[in-house]
Structure 1
Amino acid sequence: MGSSCSSVREEYVGLPSKPAVRHPGTTQSPVNIDTVDPLVVYCDAYLLSHPLTLHNYRPGCARRMVNDGHTFKIEMRQERQESQSSLPGHITGDRMTNVPKISGGPLYEEYKLLQIHAHWGATDRDGSEHTVDGEVFQGEVHLVHMNTKYPSFEQAMTKRDGLAVLGVFLQLADEGHESFKTITDKLENISYKCDSVDLDDNFNPQCLIPEDQQKYWSYPGSLTTGGYQECVIWIIFKNTLKVSHQQLEDLRSLRSYPRGKDPKIVRDPITERRLSAHILDNYRTIQPLHKRRIRASFTGNYSIYTFQKD
């Protein structure tokens, strides 16, 4: 997967230990995408003939960016719906009917974009939630969409097809991604938990989508935070978003506590960084795949066939 990917996560030495979060479900996320094992990944002919489509991804559809103490969240403008319950950290109440949506590929309905957030590590050796053949990336951006046939986020979380999340790996490169810089340049404005900053009309969430959006893996899974509800259709892009070391450091500069409430946590004697005052290692560990199979939307060394819709 490229020279800037690190080795298998379990082989790392010297990183802070992250206890695995246990959940009784059998379709938990994230997972390792094992492209070598034909019993795990296969090329789905249905995905080849039904391209993933983005609708209304355009400048001006995002409202603001917030530090929620766990990550940054880009909140999208949403349709006004009196009965709509809000996803924690997203905005409702804007009179917009042309909200960004996705359809096609593994999705049988339209899904509207609610919010964008990211996961990263304490160092450049770790950060992504999903892995590919055991390889770890430096971070992972998630674009969270809700099935438009459900009236609220709370109801969608109770359905297997309630949410669709686009996952984009952040991969270390010498030069950072210019589009991702539009995000990292604003992080100094949300240094502390509960800080927020308005986004101008120039930001387009499509800048976070790899150019070849038809190459991805998909599988049924769960949220990787909160109650870990098994309500997500995951779409993980094969191609990555290149970011610089400085852009990753900008993410790590975010604080996990509110302004004026410094917890005075002890400092690491080597790096001088306060050990848990910043948002670091905000990824969930790999979960068992159990009997699930992962669909690929592109040909390679995969067998090509499809299953009928349940």
Structure 2
Amino acid sequence: MVWTAALLVIVISYVNSEDYCYGEPHCDPYAWGDMFPSCHPLLEEHHSPINLDHQMTRNESLRSLHLEGFDVIQPGHWALKNDGHSVVLQVGGGMSVSGGGLPDVYHTIQLHFHWGGPATNGSEHTVDRRRYPMEMHIVNMKSIHPNLTEALGDPTGLAVLGFFIDVVYADHVHFGLVSQKLSSVAYKGQTTKIEPFPLMNLLPKHNMSQYYRYYGSLTTPPCSQAVVWTLYEVPIYISWSQLAQFTSQIFSTEEDAEQVTPLQNNFRHIHPTFSRIVSVSKDAKLLTGTASWPLRSAVSLHLLQIILLGSFLSGL
């Protein structure tokens, strides 16, 4: 559909990407409020991301969401793009999200990632103040809105499904369909095609009834307070080498590539919940699991350095 294609472009370019960054003091997340008033933490109270802790409320009515079209192969092609701030997978039409306490049906638009560096974790939300290595966001827009501008003016205009990503030693086969394409989108503006696959193959399909819910904002400018957040309790597990592909192969500019300065730590800082209620789904375990400690041990760092060196040598 034409409106879907147009929306895909708008979703990843609704602000001038030159206006914000993650690593420079004049344009990093703490300075966003100077350029985008709605990002100012003292003027707005419902910011994201937040820390998840034991101060939450069980809601027995929160059951599994209905993920329409997530278990089939969609027609056409998907596009993977480096937008200078993340890697975005534009998934076209055919998928939607509803139920699970959401106020409407939401059309799935895209998914993107946030990550840390070789020795730091990079999820946006934290669990008991600890970060996971990565976080994936599936962005969905309320079906009643014809465009993103209207959706961002609605406190529940977007529904974002957030998935923590943790690290093990074995590759995630389906995740590899994305990570193996990263070298083709090394620089900002580069795009490559990906053959569609059942999106459910990326997700912790046996634990989809375990999640946390709160109302917040976009985690990038303009930081609109228009998001119903669903954060899943059980992470996606990828390998060390797949994590290394994100922390070493993506660059914001060609100049960064020449200086071997990859895009890293592309996450926004944590914000207070204030008076917001953070709800726990019927089946969630109330944080009985724990997030990984930051990857700081000598063994972990040495292993990742070996992987990065191997990746570098293989490209010579």
Q: Which runs of structure 2 are paired with 1:281-292 in the superposition (5 Å)?
A: 281-292=265-276
> What does the per-residue CA deviation read over 1:50-105, in whole Å, with 9 as the maximum and x for residues that have no partner?
x3111012223552111111111111223xxxxxxxxxxxxxxxxxxxx1001001
Counterpart residue type for residue 223 of structure 2: Y
| Structure with more of its chain in helix, by fraction | 2
What percentage of residue pairs aligned between the two structures are identical? 28
CA offset at residue 119 of structure 1?
0.1
Q: Is the 8 A contact 1:60 1:200 kept in 2?
A: no
Equivalent position SS for 1:156: helix
Q: Which moved more, 1:192-201 or 1:53-62?
A: 53-62
Q: Is the 8 A contact 1:124 1:172 kept in 2?
A: no
The answer to whether 1:153 aligns with 2:172 is no
Counterpart residue type for residue 205 of structure 1: L
Match of 1:262 in 2: 255
Counterpart Cα distance in 1 of 2:186 and 2:51: 32
Match of 1:225 in 2: 220
Given the superposition, is the C-alpha separation of residues 157 and 297 from structure 1 closer, same or farther in structure 2, using an over 3 Å criterion? same
The answer to whether 1:297 aligns with 2:281 is yes
Q: TM-score, normalised by structure 2?
A: 0.74
Match of 1:66 in 2: 81
CA offset at residue 207 of structure 1?
1.9
Match of 1:53 in 2: 66
Match of 2:203 in 1: 209
Equivalent position SS for 2:103: strand
CA offset at residue 193 of structure 1?
1.2
CA offset at residue 44 of structure 1?
0.3
CA offset at residue 263 of structure 1?
5.0
CA offset at residue 281 of structure 1?
0.6
Match of 1:31 in 2: 50
Counterpart residue type for residue 208 of structure 2: Q
Q: TM-score, normalised by structure 1?
A: 0.75
Q: Is the 8 A contact 1:124 1:245 kept in 2?
A: no
Given the superposition, is the C-alpha separation of residues 262 and 135 from structure 1 closer, same or farther in structure 2, using an over 3 Å criterion? closer
Equivalent position SS for 1:287: coil
Counterpart Cα distance in 2 of 1:219 and 1:262: 39
RMSD over aligned CA atoms reads: 2.1
Q: Is the 8 A contact 1:28 1:230 kept in 2?
A: yes
Counterpart residue type for residue 65 of structure 1: L
Structure 2: 5+ residue runs without aligned partners?
A: 1-22, 33-39, 287-316
> What does the per-residue CA deviation read over 1:198-250, in whole Å, with 9 as the maximum and x for residues that have no partner?
1114x222222212111000100000001100000000000000111211110
Structure 1: 5+ residue runs without aligned partners?
A: 1-14, 79-98, 267-273, 303-310
